Structure 1
Amino acid sequence: MKAIIVDDERLARKELTNLLSAYPEVEIIGEAANADEAIAMIESKRPDLLFLDIQMPGKTGFDLLESIDAAPLVIFTTAYDEYALKAFEVNALDYLLKPIHQDRLKSCLEKVLKEHKTIKEEEHEQAEYKLGLKDQVFVKDGDKCWFVKLADVRLFESDGNYIKVYFEQNKPMIHKSLNALDKKLDDRAFFRASRKHIINLSWVESIESWFNGGLLVKLKNGDKVEVSRRQASRFKEMMSL
């Protein structure tokens, strides 16, 4: 399991590296002292796991996650416990308070390794078949249930630990991460516009330039979705002849 440590304090990075040396399952492939360094490293190295500090000069750990389209598994490492609720709202797997103790790290890594194994097993299963426009899925939200053709789903939107599914006049919530869903969908039919949205390409009506090199996509029902700067060039390629 490949990991990156993001912390502005060199001694904190060194201490965590020393603690992690007891776990051969975790390979440290990089360290970053700030969010901008980390973003570039995440895009180039594609880690499975981030050990992420929250309070750093410039961008915070939360800002970093807002800046990337698909985040790896995240463990926050911080001296401040007041961020715990927000950490779990952005789907962090765990929250380690500094100074980090070996027994607490052990229980945290047991959870992470289990989650990583589950993800890899799902990826293996999903590699054999991707859901496309002709497929029908079962959606349940509370007492309400639907069988929905994916061709009718125009948009998926991340909302904490849930995904909002947009079809007809309905917007039910399902308990799933957008990353996991993205891996199940046929990328010839669905596009990861940003860390918050997946759009159905058959619903795209028009595209216009937007802020910071991004794009604004208008769907056939009038909904508008931003495509992040990092995804904009790929989106243009997919939608061109």
Structure 2
Amino acid sequence: MNAVIVEDESLIAEEMQSNIASVAADVQVLDVLPSLKAARKWFMNNAEPDLLFMDIRLSDGLSFELFDQFTLQCPVIFCTAYEEYAIRAFKVNGVDYLLKPVQEDDLKKAIDKVRSMKESRSFIPGDLQQLVQYFSNPALAKAQYKERFIISSNNKWTPVETKDIAVFFKDNLNYVYTFNGDKLIYDFSALEEIEEVLDPNLFFRANRQAIININSVHSVKPHGNQKLMVQLKQPLKLEVDISREKAPLFKKWMDR
């Protein structure tokens, strides 16, 4: 199969190419397109590939804009930092998604799914257009995000607005830090549960321990082996590591 990657982060694109070669030797990457402009030019001069790997948010717009100009019939595997629950509602046969940073097992399963679809000569359902419309309408997505959390302490319940939460932090206990410096114990079993109900434009999964609010970031500095160290605003006395793999995603998340 011939494939094209639409991805504006060069490190992520390189890793994707390497992973594809590792898990699917029969998939040949024809080109890597780093922007909407480059993608438009490519599709105007080339036949569509057998498979398309596509990031959602590019430096010059949403990749879904390609569907307004071109009628693409090839299977699309979306590579995205959007939360899993939002994608799941629109997941259809022949169109899969990969959460960044991409895991090889997930990549292999997605490619196998496309290969199986082609062997059975299945068609991509029209729900792809529904997926496009969903992400093109921020109001639809925002309506599903959690607006507040109920914190139980001292035998009482206290509502905390999501926008007032600076950090979710998992240690021996699970904590919520607010912008005014409160450190509250909140009962959740995994950060994945929290991640699914947060607006990805506002919150970022920094590492295994922390999800940070974009408005809590005071400064960012390099921290060895292409990692980043995020210093949070006062009165929070926290520093949060961003891994090498997530550093490009974090930069894109901040720079918009």
TM-score, reference length from structure 1:
0.46
Q: Counting helix residues as a fraction of each chain, which structure ranks higher?
A: 1
TM-score, reference length from structure 2:
0.44
